[in-house]
Amino acid sequence: MSSKDAVLVPPKHIAAIAPYQAGKPIEELAREFGLDPARIVKLASNENPLGMPESARLAIMEAVSGLGRYPDPAGFDLKQALSTRYDVPQDWLTLGNGSNDILELVASTLLEPGSAVVYAQHAFVVYKLATQARGARHIMVPAKDYGHDLPAMLEAIDDSTRLVFIANPNNPTGTYLPNAEIEAFLAGLTARHGTRVTVVLDEAYNEFLEPELRVDSIGLVKRYANLIVSRSFSKAYGLAGLRVGFAVAQPVLTDLLNRVRQPFNVNSLAQAAAIAALKDQEFQVRSFNVNREGKAQLQQAFEKLGLEYVPSYANFVLVRVGDAARINQELLKRGVIVRPVAGDGLPQWLRISIGLKNENQQFIDALTDILKPAHS
Ligand SMILES: Cc1ncc(COP(=O)(O)O)c(C=O)c1O
């Protein structure tokens, strides 16, 4: 075919993007291996194993009758609920179609071809995708003990750097940065570069941290005009399918994000459900406890099996299984979907989302069976 016949000629930086690999859907695995979908467990996408809160389901039922109209473009009611909960004015809040949308909005707002973005090796893959999509350059800083090396990230910032992404806790490694390290990074960054470089502190898994470990990120936003905190309703709040997240930043930055934001980026059902979930303390406590117990269950099993794992601060655990591609395949045959992370530079590891007790056990039993010596 001559180049004249080529239908699409995307820009080089778009053609270079490797598509996002989502967790395999249950129905797809059932078809592939002839399995009963009811017996398949999916521990692959860091979803809430409790499903969505009943309070959110009821709020959705009520909101359904209004679906003939566009959603509130300002998200007034949800912002009011967030404003009360986090003690920030409404003009510090940006709503996103998932917190993924917030990450994309920030990239659209601040990057142009030629700008650079700093993030850590093994950090959330969307940082790279959002950078590439703007024709910007990424500066990936080697991880330290599978987590972010913030002093090295500070050193890596160059004259063209506009943005730094920090995931706390990080996905897929589950590592965590304490308040003091983040404060030191922000102070160092601002002393050297002023507010020329913006920092996104991505706290999608914040609610799974023990309360005493949580960073005072909203307090930091009040002190740093170049800080954006992003949060998600997909994980602890159980609303992954609705796509809703938010950002907190000072008004000047928030105003810029909202210029780029699609006016109706968060749908009416998502807004109604998020308000209900935010108020549902009982569900939040239950999510936290199920996660804490499931994490202990998985980590103890890995210890018993003699497998290295990265102690997790989130709702998944990263475990080193060796030949991860083969073990993943064997798990699939046994009806267990987990996440291979070779694409994140971790070819010997698998990421296991924390499920309900029986789901975790089904995974542990399958893994134990796969790893048992052939002669036993
Ligand atoms: C670190 C991190 N940030 C952001 C997101 C985006 O989540 P959502 O768009 O569902 O809020 C994820 C999802 O897996 C994540 O792991």
State which ligand 1 atom lies nearest to the alpha carbon of 169.
1
The pair of three-digit structure tokens given for residue 218, joined into one six-digit string: 């909203």
Distance (Å) of CA 198 to CA 29, 140, 157, 193: 41, 16, 11, 10
Mutate to test the pocket of ligand 1, among 104, 126, 201 (most ligand atoms within 8 A of CB): 126
State which ligand 1 atom lies nearest to the alpha carbon of 97.
9
Distance between CA 124 and CA 257 in Å, rounded? 21
Query: Across the chain, what does the average pLDDT equal?
Result: 95
This prediction's pTM: 0.95
Q: What is the pLDDT of residue 43?
A: 97
Distance between CA 270 and CA 97 in Å, rounded? 9
Are 229 and 286 part of one and the same domain? no
Are 80 and 43 part of one and the same domain? no
Angle between helices 324-333 and 357-371 (to 10 degrees): 120
Ligand 1 binding residues, C-beta < 6 A: 46, 98-100, 124, 167, 171, 202, 204, 232, 234, 240, 245
Are 170 and 22 part of one and the same domain? no
Are 254 and 344 part of one and the same domain? no
Q: What is the pLDDT of residue 3?
A: 57
Q: What is the pLDDT of residue 4?
A: 62
Distance between CA 226 and CA 208 in Å, rounded? 26
**Rounded mean pLDDT, 294-323:** 98
Segments forming the whole domain that contains residue 167: 54-279
Distance between CA 337 and CA 27 in Å, rounded? 11
Q: What is the pLDDT of residue 217?
A: 97
In this structure, is residue 344 part of a structural domain? Answer: yes
Percentage of residues in the chain having pLDDT higher than 90: 91
In this structure, is residue 1 part of a structural domain? Answer: no
Q: What is the pLDDT of residue 8?
A: 81
Domain boundary, last residue among 245, 279, 313: 279
Are 143 and 227 part of one and the same domain? yes
Examine the pLDDT at 223 and tell me if it is beyond 60: yes
Render pLDDT for 130-143 as a digit per residue (tens, 0 to 9).
999 999 999 999 99
Report how far ligand 1's centroid is from the alpha carbon of 374 (Å): 39
Examine the pLDDT at 229 and tell me if it is beyond 80: yes
In this structure, is residue 299 part of a structural domain? Answer: yes
In this structure, is residue 30 part of a structural domain? Answer: yes
- Quickly state the pLDDT bin for 73 (edges 50, 70, 90): very high
| Element (DSSP H or E) covering residue 340 | strand 339-340
Are 181 and 221 part of one and the same domain? yes
Report how far ligand 1's centroid is from the alpha carbon of 53 (Å): 19
Render pLDDT for 11-60 as a digit per residue (tens, 0 to 9).
888 888 887 777 788 999 999 999 999 999 999 999 999 999 999 999 99
In this structure, is residue 349 part of a structural domain? Answer: yes
Are 91 and 222 part of one and the same domain? yes
Number of domains in the chain: 2
Fill in the amino acid letter for 82.
Answer: L
Mutate to test the pocket of ligand 1, among 97, 99, 166 (most ligand atoms within 8 A of CB): 99
Distance (Å) of CA 293 to CA 235, 298, 360: 16, 9, 10
Render pLDDT for 131-183 as a digit per residue (tens, 0 to 9).
999 999 999 999 999 999 999 999 999 999 999 999 999 999 999 999 999 99
On whether the CB atoms of residues 160 and 126 are closer than 8 A, the answer is no
Are 250 and 304 part of one and the same domain? no
Are 259 and 328 part of one and the same domain? no
**Rounded mean pLDDT, 71-99:** 98
Distance (Å) of CA 72 to CA 79, 231, 267: 11, 20, 8
